[in-house]
Amino acid sequence: MKKETLDRLEKHINKRPKDYLKISEGDNYWNIRECPDFINCSKNICPLDYEMFKRSAIENNDFCKYIREPKLKNILGKDSVCYGRVMPDELLKFVPEHNAYILNEPSRKRWYELHKSR
């Protein structure tokens, strides 16, 4: 993960957001379940999690794929972009406002576009 991404995450992670409202554990669970990868996912840091600030991440693998910035990899002699995908609009509507900063750049831009039009 890029240093600036890690700096951005460290700056905000484990800090209770100002606009954080206490929600029930069940509401948080159902919000996270909106992700189609929920069943197979084991990531600690999820942008759909209202209580993300309570979670910790030790390795790159602890971050949702929509948080990780694009990375160019050479696979079998071909350059391909890994990570950095834009979160689908159907999921972006479930990302709490206090978690929008943690999305990768393409997803973050789309989140602001969707919420600006409200």
Range 80-96 average pLDDT: 87
CB 101, CB 8: distance < 8 Å: yes
**Predicted pLDDT of residue 2:** 54
- pLDDT tens digits for range 14-70: 555 555 566 778 888 889 999 999 999 888 899 999 888 888 887 777 888 888 888
What integer pLDDT is reported at residue 21 of this predicted model?
60
The pLDDT confidence band at residue 91, using thresholds 50, 70 and 90, is very high
Rounded distance between C-alpha atoms, residue 24 and residue 62, angstroms:
24
The token pair that represents 17 in the structure block: 């957001």
Please identify which residue in the block is written with the tokens 């409200």.
118
Average of per-residue pLDDT values in the chain: 81
